[in-house]
Amino acid sequence: MVLFLATTLLGPVQQVNAQLNTDRVMAIGRSALYFEDYVLSIQYFNQVIDAKPFLAEPYFFRAVAKLYLEDFKGADEDCTLALERNNFMVRAFL
């Protein structure tokens, strides 16, 4: 009986989905970019893009990381996506 009550009362608590603080993840990604950990920074920017695909900044910073990894085609695609979301992002005109 106690087990039934515990699973009934605590079951919904365990199923709560975590929310992503995109500002914090962007800051962590930018720090990884600063410390030249480009693959890790791309992973963080991918998390932000998955959560908020309408933002231009994660596409831009992912493009910068791809430039350092010499993935020029991927960087060009990301800059194009950043400019589609924000035409006034001058830094994305590489």
The CATH number given to whatever domain includes residue 32 is: 1.25.40.10
- Residue 6 placed within a domain: no
- Residue 7 placed within a domain: no
Burial of 19 by CB count in 10 Å (0-12 exposed, 13-18 middle, 19+ buried)?
A: exposed
- Residue 13 placed within a domain: no
**Domain enclosing residue 36, as ranges:** 19-92
- Residue 58 placed within a domain: yes
Residue 15: what pLDDT? 47
pTM of the model: 0.78
Digits of tens for pLDDT over the chain (94 positions)? 655 545 555 555 444 445 789 999 999 999 999 999 999 999 999 999 999 999 999 999 999 999 999 999 999 999 999 999 999 988 878 6
HEC secondary structure over the chain: CHHHHHHHHHHHHHCCCCCCCHHHHHHHHHHHHHCCCHHHHHHHHHHHHHHCCCCCHHHHHHHHHHHHCCCHHHHHHHHHHHHHHCCCCHHHCC
- Domain count of the fold of the chain: 1
- Residue 2 placed within a domain: no
